[in-house]
C-alpha cells in the first residue's frame, strides 16, 4: 500500500463520522454540494490581487519583494476629540510615570513610531507570523500610516529588513499591548530571519497599562476596540472582527484573491489612529481632569488613585470628590474611603471625620473601615477612649461574615483599648 | 532479631513456609574503582573529595571517558549505582572549561526533576562557581520563566514541557540553544510504546532547532535494566549510541524471596489477599526497628496499608510518624519531609506507589516488600534496588497476586533472575504520530525542500498536509498555516488528537480529572462504566459522544466494569510469513472493527461476575499492525477434541499468550488486543452474555453451525491497539517460539484444575476443557523444538 493510500485511510479513522445522524445528513450535503459547485468554481477562477485593491507599491529589497501601503493624514485631521496637531503639540507627557520607565521622560511624539501588527494567530510562538506591520508617525505636515504587508510568507524577510530600517530612525514606540505581544512576536520573527534588531530596547509607551489603570471597570473590557467606541465614541464603517483575521489571511494565501483580506488594511489603520487618539485622551485627562469630562465616576476614582500614587495629592482630592458625586452606589463606598484617607493625610482630618460618620449611616456597610478610622480618631486625636471603644463594639456587631483576620484585629484593638481605659481610670 | 533470623523463622513457620516458592541469595559484591580521569577539572575533583569521594566506580569512569571522546552514551546500571555522576560530571566539567555552555536534563516526571536539582545543586555548591540550575516545567511561575531562559545554565525539564513550552518558543531560548552542549535523558526505559514514539519525534524537533542555531549537543542517557537498552536509545536518538553496562558499584548480600499466597478458592484459582500477606511479612521488621519500604500497586492500596500499619504500630505517642505513606498527589513539601525522614532514619517504614521507584534519594533501607508484581522486571529491580547498598544484608520479598503475570513470575524464578527479557519498543514513524509532529516542527521552523524528518517520504507528507490546509507551500518552503498552536493538541501520551475529557461532577464545581484517547474511550467511558482514576472509582453517568466529554461521579462500589466487545479483523497486507509445526504465523497490516455491545460488572479481588449492562456506541474502526497465528486443520485433526473444544482451547491459549506478549513487549496489556477468527477473516469467535459462538462478520448475526466448522481455520490475532500501530507485531513475529514456550510454561505450571484467571482465563468463560486443549496444542506445536 502506498503512503498516500495509508494516509487516506488513517484520516478516515479519526475524522469519519459515526452515528445515524450523519447518515441522514449525507444526501442533503450531496445535494447542496451539487447545487453550489458550479458557482463556487467560477468564484475561484477570478482572483483579484492586493495591488488592485489597496493603494500601495511593491518594494524591492536585496531579499526580494514585499508590498507596502502608505496613507497621509493632514495635521488638522480630527479623530476623536483632538486634532492630530493638538496631539503633536502636547508639551509634556506623563508616560514615564504611567509606565514606570524613566527613558520615557523624553517622550516626543515626533520621534515616536506607532506600531500595530496583524498576525496569523493569537497564541504566539515561532509559528505565528506578523503578516502586516502597521506603522504610524508624524511628519512635518501630517501623519503617515505605512503598512508593510507580506503577499506570501516568502516576503517576510524583505518586510522585516524594511521594518528594521524604519525602526532605526525612531527613538520611541507607541503600542497597545505591544510589550507582551507585538514586540516579542516581531523579535521572534527577526531572529528566525536572522536579522539583528533593537526592537526590544526601544522605550515603549504601551498604552494598555495606563488605559487599564484609568478605565478598568468602566467598560466591559479594556480592549482597544472597546475604548475606541465607548470612550472615544468612534464608529468604524466596515470593520472585520479581529478573530477573523488569521483565517482571512490563510484564505488569501491559498487563493491569491485579496477581496477579503484588503479590509485588514482599514482595520489596522483604524487601530493605529485610535492609538493616537487614546494617547491624546490619556494626556488630556491626566492634565485636566475637568476639561476632559470623564463620563463615569469610576474614571475619576481611578484617576484620583493614579495621582495619589504619583504624589500629586492636590490633584487627586478633587478627582475623588467628583467621583463621589457621579458614581453609582457600589462605587461610592470606595470613593469615600479614598477621599477620606486623602483628606486625613493632607491634614483635613475634620472633613475626613464627617465622611466617616456619613459612611456609618450607609445601609449596606462593606467593611469595618469607617468604624476603625473613627476609633483611631477618637483614641489618638480626642483621647476619648470610651468613644473609641464604642465604635469598635459597633463594628463587631455588624452583620459581616467571612473576615476572620479583620475581626481578629478588631478584637485586638478592643483589648488594647480596654486595657488603656482601665489604666486611665486607675 | 536480625533479618537473617526472621527469614529463618519463616522457614519454620507452618503458614509462611509453604508459600515461599523461591529464596535466592546474591553474595556481597566488592566495588570496582578507578582514579579520577585526568581531564576532570581540579575544581570538580576538589568538590568530589570534599564530599568524601576519592575515586570513581569503573562504570562511571567508562561513561565519562566515552563522553569526553564525543560519543553519545547510554548507561545501564541498577538503582543507586551513582549513575547521576555519569552525566553530572561531564556537564559540569564542560561548564568549567567553557562557561557559556548549556545543558538540558530531561526526566519523565516533575517529582524527579526537583530531586535531581537538589542533588546537582549540592555538587555545584562545592565547586563554588556560579552555575545556575533551574527546573522549568508546568509549575514554574510565569514571572520566573524569562530569567530562567536567559540566565539558566542547566535547565531541568520533562518531555511534555519541551514539546509544548520550549520548542515552540525557541527564539526566547536563543542563547541557550546556541550554546547547548548536552542533553541528558534519564530513565529512558520509560520512553517506550506511544510515549517513546512521541519522544523520538520531540528529539527530532529538538535537533532540528539546534541545527538552526548551529549547535549539535551530545546525548547522555540512563536506563534501568531492559533487554535492549542500546537499541532503544538508538531508536530514540536515531544515531549510534555507546553502551555502558558493566556495573562497578558494590552491593551488600541480597536475599530475594518469592511469596505466593495460598489458594483460597481452588475452583476459581483465587489466592489469598496479597495486601494481607504483605502486612504479615513486614510486621517483624517494624517491630525490630529495621527500616523497610513496602511497594503497593495502586494509590488506594498505599492508603489502606498505611492505615493498617499505623493502627498497629503507632499506638504510643512517641511512635507517631514512624509509618508513612508516599504517593503522587501528596504535596511536594510533605514528600520532601518524608524523604528526609527516611534518610535520617526517623521514618521506619514507608508504604509507596511506584513514585519512589525512580531515582529519588531516600538513603539506604534494609527490607523491601512488593505487594504485587509491578508489571515489569525492570520495575521490580528498580523497587528492590531501594535496599542493600551499604548495609550488611538486605531482603526483598515479592508477594504475588492472582494475576497471570504475578503467577508466572513466582512460578518461574529462573526466568525472572535470568537476563532481562523485556524489550523497549518505539515506532516513531507511526503515521499519526509522525504527522502530528511534522505540524509541530513546521510551526517551529518552516520545512525546506529536501529536508528529512523521520523515515517516511517527508515531501509526500508535507503535500498531504498542504492539501488539508495545514501547511502552505511557497518558495521551496512549507509554512504552518493554522491559528491553533499544534503542540497543545498533541499529547505525548496518546496517538489520536481526539481525546475525550473526563469531568468529575461529584462536587459543585466540575473538574476535569483525566483525558482518554479516542480508542480507549469506547471501552472505558460508556455510560455505566466504572472509571478508575488514581485509585478512585467513578461511575460514568453521561457520555457526550459528539463533544467528547464523559461526566462521572465518585462512587464506592466493590466492582469494576469490563466492556464486552466484538472485534473483526481483516487482513489488508501481510509483510512476512513463516511456517511452524501445524501452525503458520504472520505479521502485517489489518483493519480492526470493534463493536462494543455491553459490559460485565466484576467484583474486586474475587473477580466474580455481578451482572451485565448494555452499551450503544458507534462502531470503532482503525488500521493498525497485527501479528497472527493460524492453527492448521492438519494439526487440529490429530487431537481428540471436538471442534468447539478446540476453539475453547485456542481462546484460552490466546488469553495466556496475550499476557506473555505484554510482558515481553514491556507494554501495558491494554496496548495490545486479541481476537480469534478465521484466517480469511470471515468468521469470529464471540464471547457473549450467555453463550459463546462463532459468527460471521459484525453485520450478520448468523451463527456458524458445528458442521461447517471445518471451513474455519482458527487464527489468533494480537494487534496493536493504536491507529497506525506501535511496532509490537514485528517483535512478536520474530520471537514467536520464545513466546509460545513461555505461554506453555505459564499454563502448565499453574496449579488450577481446568483454567483460572492466572492462566487460560476463567473456566466459565473459556469452557471446561480450555486448559487441557491448550496444553495439547502446545505439546504438538513445540514437540520438535
DSSP string, A282-311: HHHHHH-TTTT--SSHHHHHHHHHHHHHTT
Q: Which residue has the higher pLDDT, B17 or B710?
A: B17
Q: Give the range with max mean pLDDT: B48-62, B427-441, B537-551.
A: B48-62
Q: How confident is the model at residue B518 (pLDDT cuts 50, 70, 90)?
A: confident
Q: Is B477 on the interface with A (CB under 8 A)?
A: yes
Contact (CB, 8 A) for B454 and B428: yes
Least confident range of B230-234, B334-338, B728-732: B334-338
Rounded Cα distance between B256 and B396, Å, is 5
Rounded Cα distance between A370 and A340, Å, is 9
With CB atoms and an 8 Å threshold, state whether B498 touches A250: no
User: Minimal CA–CA distance to B378: which of B350, B327, B419, B328?
Assistant: B419
Sequence-separated (6 or more) residues with CB below 8 Å from residue B736: B578, B580, B585, B629
Give the model's pLDDT for residue A9: 64
State residue A243 phi and psi, 5-degree precision: -60, -25
**B471-474 vs B477-480, strand pairing mode:** antiparallel
pTM of structure:
0.80
What mean pLDDT comes out for the span B149-169? Answer: 94
What mean pLDDT comes out for the span B221-243? Answer: 91
Rounded Cα distance between B47 and B37, Å, is 15
Q: Which three cell numbers stand for residue B147?
A: 530569567
The burial of B313, by beta-carbon neighbours within 10 Å (0-12 exposed, 13-18 middle, 19 or more buried), is given as middle
Rounded Cα distance between B55 and B38, Å, is 12
Q: Which residue has the higher pLDDT, A61 or B696?
A: A61
Q: Which three cell numbers stand for residue B127?
A: 565547586
Give the model's pLDDT for residue A304: 86
| Residue A296 in this model has a pLDDT that exceeds 80 | no
User: Minimal CA–CA distance to B431: which of B454, B448, B447?
Assistant: B454
Q: Which three cell numbers stand for residue B381?
A: 529491580
- Chain segment B436-475, per-residue pLDDT in tens: 899 999 999 999 999 999 988 999 999 989 988 899 999 8
Give the model's pLDDT for residue B111: 67
| Residue A34 in this model has a pLDDT that exceeds 70 | no
Rounded Cα distance between B498 and B362, Å, is 40
Which 3 state secondary structure label does DSSP give A45?
A: helix
Rounded Cα distance between B110 and B116, Å, is 10
Q: How confident is the model at residue B377 (pLDDT cuts 50, 70, 90)?
A: confident
Q: Which residues of A touch B (CB under 8 A)?
A: 1, 3-4, 6-7, 9-11, 13-14, 16, 18-19, 120-127, 129, 152-154, 184, 187-188, 191-192, 246-247, 250, 253-254
Looking at the partner chain, which of B168, B435, B518 has a beta carbon nearest the beta carbon of A127?
B168
Q: Quote the longest CA-to-CA distance of chain B.
A: 84
Torsion of CA B553, B554, B558, B563, to 10 degrees: 40
Rounded Cα distance between A268 and B134, Å, is 41
What mean pLDDT comes out for the span B296-306? Answer: 81
Rounded Cα distance between B51 and B45, Å, is 10
Looking at the partner chain, which of B474, B483, B545 has a beta carbon nearest the beta carbon of A121?
B483
What is residue A90's DSSP assignment?
-
| Residue A21 in this model has a pLDDT that exceeds 60 | no
Q: Is B42 on the interface with A (CB under 8 A)?
A: no
Looking at the partner chain, which of B461, B482, B622 has a beta carbon nearest the beta carbon of A13?
B622
- Chain segment A58-114, per-residue pLDDT in tens: 999 888 999 999 999 999 888 877 889 888 888 777 888 888 899 999 999 999 999
Residues of A in contact with B497 (CB under 8 A): 14
- Chain segment B85-137, per-residue pLDDT in tens: 999 999 999 999 999 999 999 998 776 777 788 889 889 999 988 999 999 98
Q: Which residue has the higher pLDDT, B212 or B680?
A: B212
| Residue A42 in this model has a pLDDT that exceeds 70 | no
Looking at the partner chain, which of A11, A124, A127 has a beta carbon nearest the beta carbon of B480?
A127
Least confident range of A15-19, B43-47, B340-344, B591-595: A15-19
Sequence-separated (6 or more) residues with CB below 8 Å from residue A105: A95, A96
Residues of B in contact with A184 (CB under 8 A): 172
Q: Is B145 on the interface with A (CB under 8 A)?
A: no
With CB atoms and an 8 Å threshold, state whether B484 touches A121: yes
Contact (CB, 8 A) for B633 and B723: no
Percent of chain A scoring above 70 in pLDDT: 87
Q: How far is the alpha carbon of A248 from chain B, nearest alpha carbon, in Å?
A: 11
- Chain segment A316-340, per-residue pLDDT in tens: 888 888 888 877 777 788 888 889 9
Contact (CB, 8 A) for B770 and B755: yes
Q: How confident is the model at residue A35 (pLDDT cuts 50, 70, 90)?
A: very low
Q: How confident is the model at residue B511 (pLDDT cuts 50, 70, 90)?
A: confident
Which 3 state secondary structure label does DSSP give B23?
A: strand
CA distance to A221, B320, B592, B594, B620, per residue, from B597 (Å)? 51, 52, 16, 9, 12
| Residue B605 in this model has a pLDDT that exceeds 70 | no
* Dihedral angle sign, alpha carbons of residues A271, A272, A273, A274: positive
Query: End-to-end alpha-carbon separation of chain B, Å?
Result: 50
Q: How far is the alpha carbon of B171 from chain A, nearest alpha carbon, in Å?
A: 6
ipTM: 0.78
DSSP element (H, E) containing B126? helix B110-127
Rounded Cα distance between A390 and A202, Å, is 58
Q: Which residue has the higher pLDDT, B687 or B21?
A: B21
| Residue B298 in this model has a pLDDT that exceeds 70 | yes
Looking at the partner chain, which of B431, B442, B618 has a beta carbon nearest the beta carbon of A6?
B431
With CB atoms and an 8 Å threshold, state whether B456 touches A122: no
Residues of B in contact with A127 (CB under 8 A): 168, 442-444, 480, 485-486
Give the model's pLDDT for residue B384: 87
Q: How far is the alpha carbon of A242 from chain B, nearest alpha carbon, in Å?
A: 13
CA distance to A19, A142, B131, B549, B614, per residue, from B526 (Å)? 15, 67, 53, 11, 9
DSSP code per residue over A211-272: HHHHHTTTSS---HHHIIIIIS----SS---GGGHHHHHHHHHHH---TTTTHHHHHHHHHH
Q: Which three cell numbers stand for residue B600?
A: 460485565
Give the model's pLDDT for residue B419: 66
Which 3 state secondary structure label does DSSP give B32?
A: coil
What mean pLDDT comes out for the span B674-693? Answer: 74
Q: How far is the alpha carbon of B376 from chain A, nearest alpha carbon, in Å?
A: 32
Sequence-separated (6 or more) residues with CB below 8 Å from residue A325: A297
- When the pLDDT of each residue in chain B is averaged and rounded to a whole number, the result is 86
Compare all CA atoms of chain A with the CA of B475 and give the residue at the minimum distance.
Answer: A154
What mean pLDDT comes out for the span B390-416? Answer: 84
- Chain segment B648-668, per-residue pLDDT in tens: 899 999 999 998 888 888 777
| Residue B506 in this model has a pLDDT that exceeds 70 | yes
CA angle B520/B524/B529 to nearest 5° reads 170
What mean pLDDT comes out for the span B377-399? Answer: 83
Q: Is B548 on the interface with A (CB under 8 A)?
A: no
DSSP code per residue over A174-201: EESSTTTTHHHHHHHHHHHTT----GGG
3-state class percentages of chain B: helix first, strand second, coil last, to nearest 5: 40, 25, 35
DSSP element (H, E) containing B133? strand B133-135
| Residue B69 in this model has a pLDDT that exceeds 80 | yes
Rounded Cα distance between B47 and B167, Å, is 34
Looking at the partner chain, which of B435, B444, B572 has a beta carbon nearest the beta carbon of A1?
B572
Give the model's pLDDT for residue A312: 82
Q: How confident is the model at residue B753 (pLDDT cuts 50, 70, 90)?
A: confident
Amino acid at each position: 500500500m502506498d503512503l498516500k493510500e495509508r494516509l487516506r485511510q488513517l484520516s478516515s479513522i479519526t475524522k469519519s463520522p459515526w452515528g445515524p445522524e450523519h447518515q441522514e445528513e449525507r444526501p442533503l450535503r450531496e445535494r447542496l454540494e451539487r447545487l453550489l459547485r458550479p458557482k463556487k468554481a467560477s468564484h475561484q477562477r477570478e482572483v483579484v490581487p492586493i495591488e488592485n485593491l489597496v493603494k500601495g507599491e511593491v518594494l524591492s529589497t536585496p531579499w526580494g519583494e514585499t508590498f507596502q501601503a502608505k496613507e497621509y493624514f493632514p495635521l488638522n485631521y480630527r479623530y476623536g476629540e483632538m486634532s492630530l496637531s493638538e496631539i503633536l503639540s502636547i508639551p509634556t507627557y506623563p508616560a514615564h510615570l504611567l509606565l514606570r520607565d524613566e527613558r520615557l521622560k523624553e517622550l516626543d511624539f515626533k520621534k515616536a513610531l506607532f506600531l500595530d501588527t496583524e498576525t496569523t494567530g493569537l497564541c504566539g510562538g515561532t509559528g505565528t507570523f506578523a503578516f502586516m506591520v502597521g506603522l504610524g508617525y508624524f511628519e512635518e505636515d501630517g501623519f503617515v500610516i505605512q503598512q508593510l504587508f507580506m503577499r506570501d510568507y516568502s516576503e517576510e524577510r524583505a518586510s522585516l529588513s524594511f521594518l528594521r530600517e524604519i525602526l532605526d530612525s525612531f527613538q520611541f514606540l507607541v503600542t497597545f499591548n505591544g510589550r507582551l505581544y507585538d514586540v516579542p512576536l516581531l523579535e521572534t520573527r527577526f531572529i528566525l530571519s536572522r536579522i539583528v534588531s533593537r526592537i526590544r530596547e526601544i522605550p515603549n509607551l504601551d498604552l494598555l497599562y495606563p488605559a487599564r489603570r484609568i478605565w478598568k471597570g468602566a467598560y466591559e473590557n479594556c480592549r482597544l476596540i472597546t475604548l475606541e467606541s465607548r470612550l472615544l465614541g468612534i464608529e468604524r464603517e466596515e470593520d472585520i472582527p479581529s478573530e477573523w483575521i488569521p483565517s482571512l489571511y490563510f484564505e488569501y494565501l491559498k487563493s491569491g484573491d485579496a477581496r477579503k483580506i484588503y479590509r485588514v488594511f482599514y482595520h489596522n489603520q483604524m487601530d493605529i489612529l485610535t492609538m493616537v487618539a487614546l494617547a491624546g485622551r490619556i494626556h488630556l485627562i491626566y492634565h485636566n481632569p475637568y476639561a476632559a469630562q470623564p463620563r463615569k465616576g469610576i474614571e475619576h476614582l481611578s484617576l484620583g488613585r493614579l495621582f495619589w500614587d504619583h504624589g500629586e495629592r492636590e490633584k487627586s482630592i478633587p478627582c475623588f470628590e467628583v467621583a463621589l458625586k457621579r458614581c453609582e452606589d457600589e462605587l461610592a463606598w470606595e470613593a469615600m474611603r479614598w477621599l477620606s484617607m486623602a483628606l486625613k493625610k493632607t491634614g483635613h482630618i475634620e472633613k475626613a471625620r464627617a465622611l466617616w460618620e456619613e459612611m456609618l449611616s450607609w445601609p449596606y456597610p462593606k467593611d469595618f473601615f469607617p468604624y476603625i478610622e473613627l476609633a483611631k480618631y477618637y483614641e489618638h486625636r480626642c483621647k476619648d477612649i470610651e468613644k473609641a471603644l464604642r465604635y469598635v463594639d459597633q463594628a463587631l456587631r455588624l452583620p459581616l461574615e467571612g473576615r476572620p483576620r479583620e475581626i481578629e484585629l478588631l478584637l485586638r484593638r478592643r483589648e488594647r483599648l480596654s486595657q488603656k481605659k482601665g489604666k486611665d481610670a486607675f | 532479631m536480625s533479618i537473617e533470623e526472621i527469614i529463618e523463622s519463616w522457614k519454620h513457620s507452618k503458614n509462611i513456609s509453604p508459600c515461599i516458592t523461591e529464596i535466592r541469595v546474591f553474595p556481597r559484591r566488592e566495588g570496582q574503582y578507578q582514579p579520577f580521569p585526568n581531564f576532570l577539572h581540579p575544581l570538580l575533583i576538589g568538590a568530589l573529595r570534599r564530599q568524601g569521594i576519592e575515586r570513581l566506580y569503573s562504570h562511571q569512569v567508562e561513561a565519562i571517558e566515552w563522553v569526553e571522546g564525543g560519543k553519545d552514551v547510554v548507561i545501564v546500571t541498577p538503582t543507586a549505582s551513582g549513575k547521576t555522576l555519569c552525566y553530572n560530571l561531564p556537564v559540569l566539567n564542560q561548564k568549567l572549561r567553557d562557561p557559556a555552555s548549556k545543558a538540558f536534563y530531561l526526566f519523565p516526571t516533575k517529582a524527579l526533576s526537583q530531586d535531581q536539582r537538589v542533588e546537582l545543586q549540592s555538587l555545584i555548591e562545592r565547586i563554588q562557581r556560579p552555575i545556575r540550575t533551574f527546573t522549568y516545567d508546568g509549575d514554574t511561575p510565569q514571572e520566573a520563566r524569562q530569567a530562567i531562559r536567559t540566565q539558566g545554565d542547566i535547565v531541568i525539564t520533562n518531555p511534555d514541557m519541551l514539546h509544548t513550552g520550549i520548542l515552540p518558543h525557541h527564539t526566547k531560548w536563543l542563547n541557550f540553544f546556541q550554546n547547548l552542549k548536552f542533553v541528558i535523558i534519564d530513565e529512558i526505559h520509560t520512553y517506550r510504546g506511544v510515549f517513546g514514539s512521541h519522544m523520538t519525534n520531540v528529539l527530532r524537533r529538538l535537533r532540528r532547532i539546534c541545527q538552526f542555531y548551529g549547535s549539535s549537543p551530545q546525548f547522555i542517557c540512563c536506563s534501568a535494566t531492559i533487554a535492549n537498552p542500546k537499541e532503544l536509545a538508538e531508536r530514540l536518538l536515531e544515531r549510534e549510541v555507546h553502551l555502558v553496562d558493566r556495573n562497578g558499584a558494590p552491593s551488600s548480600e541480597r536475599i530475594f524471596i518469592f511469596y505466593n499466597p495460598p489458594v483460597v478458592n481452588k475452583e476459581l484459582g483465587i489466592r489469598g489477599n496479597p495486601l494481607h500477606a504483605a502486612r504479615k511479612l513486614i510486621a517483624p521488621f517494624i517491630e525490630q526497628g529495621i527500616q523497610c519500604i513496602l511497594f503497593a500497586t495502586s494509590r488506594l492500596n498505599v492508603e489502606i496499608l498505611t492505615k493498617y500499619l499505623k493502627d498497629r504500630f503507632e499506638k504510643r505517642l512517641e511512635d507517631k510518624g514512624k509509618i508513612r505513606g508516599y504517593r503522587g498527589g501528596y504535596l511536594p513539601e510533605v514528600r520532601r519531609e518524608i524523604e528526609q525522614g527516611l534518610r535520617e532514619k526517623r521514618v521506619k517504614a514507608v508504604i509507596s506507589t511506584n513514585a519512589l521507584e525512580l531515582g529519588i534519594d531516600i538513603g539506604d533501607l534494609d527490607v523491601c516488600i512488593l505487594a504485587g508484581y509491578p508489571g515489569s522486571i525492570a520495575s521490580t529491580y528498580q523497587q528492590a534496588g531501594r535496599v542493600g547498598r551499604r548495609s550488611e544484608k538486605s531482603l526483598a520479598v515479592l508477594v504475588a497476586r492472582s494475576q497471570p503475570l504475578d503467577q508466572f513470575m513466582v512460578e518461574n524464578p529462573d526466568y525472572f533472575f535470568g537476563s532481562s527479557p523485556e524489550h523497549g519498543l518505539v515506532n516513531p514513524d507511526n503515521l499519526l504520530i509522525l504527522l502530528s509532529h511534522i505540524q509541530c516542527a513546521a510551526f517551529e521552523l518552516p520545512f525546506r525542500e529536501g529536508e528529512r524528518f523521520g523515515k517516511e517520504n517527508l515531501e509526500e507528507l508535507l503535500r498531504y498536509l498542504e492539501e488539508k490546509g495545514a501547511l502552505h507551500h511557497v518558495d521551496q518552503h512549507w509554512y504552518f498555516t493554522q491559528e491553533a498552536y499544534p503542540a497543545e493538541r498533541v499529547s505525548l501520551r496518546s496517538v489520536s488528537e481526539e481525546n475525550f475529557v473526563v469531568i468529575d461532577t461529584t462536587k459543585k464545581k466540575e473538574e476535569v480529572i483525566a483525558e482518554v484517547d479516542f480508542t480507549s474511550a469506547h471501552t472505558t467511558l460508556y455510560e455505566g462504566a466504572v472509571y478508575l482514576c488514581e485509585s478512585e472509582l467513578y461511575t460514568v453517568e453521561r457520555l457526550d459522544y459528539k463533544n467528547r466529554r464523559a461526566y462521572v461521579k465518585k462512587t464506592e462500589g466493590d466492582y469494576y466494569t469490563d466492556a464486552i466487545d466484538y472485534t473483526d479483523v481483516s487482513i489488508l497486507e501481510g509483510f512476512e510469513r513463516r511456517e511452524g509445526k501445524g501452525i503458520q504465523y504472520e505479521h502485517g497490516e489489518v483493519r480492526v472493527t470493534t463493536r462494543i455491545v455491553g459490559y460485565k460488572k466484576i467484583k474486586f479481588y474475587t473477580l466474580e461476575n455481578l451482572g451485565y449492562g448494555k452499551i450503544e456506541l458507534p462502531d470503532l474502526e482503525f488500521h493498525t499492525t497485527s501479528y497472527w497465528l493460524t492453527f492448521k486443520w492438519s494439526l487440529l485433526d490429530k487431537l481428540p477434541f471436538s471442534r468447539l473444544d478446540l476453539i475453547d482451547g485456542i481462546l484460552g491459549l490466546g488469553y495466556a499468550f496475550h499476557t506473555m506478549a505484554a510482558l515481553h513487549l514491556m507494554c501495558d496489556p491494554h496496548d495490545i488486543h486479541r481476537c480469534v477468527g478465521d484466517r480469511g477473516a470471515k468468521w469470529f469467535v464471540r464471547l457473549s452474555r450467555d453463550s459463546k459462538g462463532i459468527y460471521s462478520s459484525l453485520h450478520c448475526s448468523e451463527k456458524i453451525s458445528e458442521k461447517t466448522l471445518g471451513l474455519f481455520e482458527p487464527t489468533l490475532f494480537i494487534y496493536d491497539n493504536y491507529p497506525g500501530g506501535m511496532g509490537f507485531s514485528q517483535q512478536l513475529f520474530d520471537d514467536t517460539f520464545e513466546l509460545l514456550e513461555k505461554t506453555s510454561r505459564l499454563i502448565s505450571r499453574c496449579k488450577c484444575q481446568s483454567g483460572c484467571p492466572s492462566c487460560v482465563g476463567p473456566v466459565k468463560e473459556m469452557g471446561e476443557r480450555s486448559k487441557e486443549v491448550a496444553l495439547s496444542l502446545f505439546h504438538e506445536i513445540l514437540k520438535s523444538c
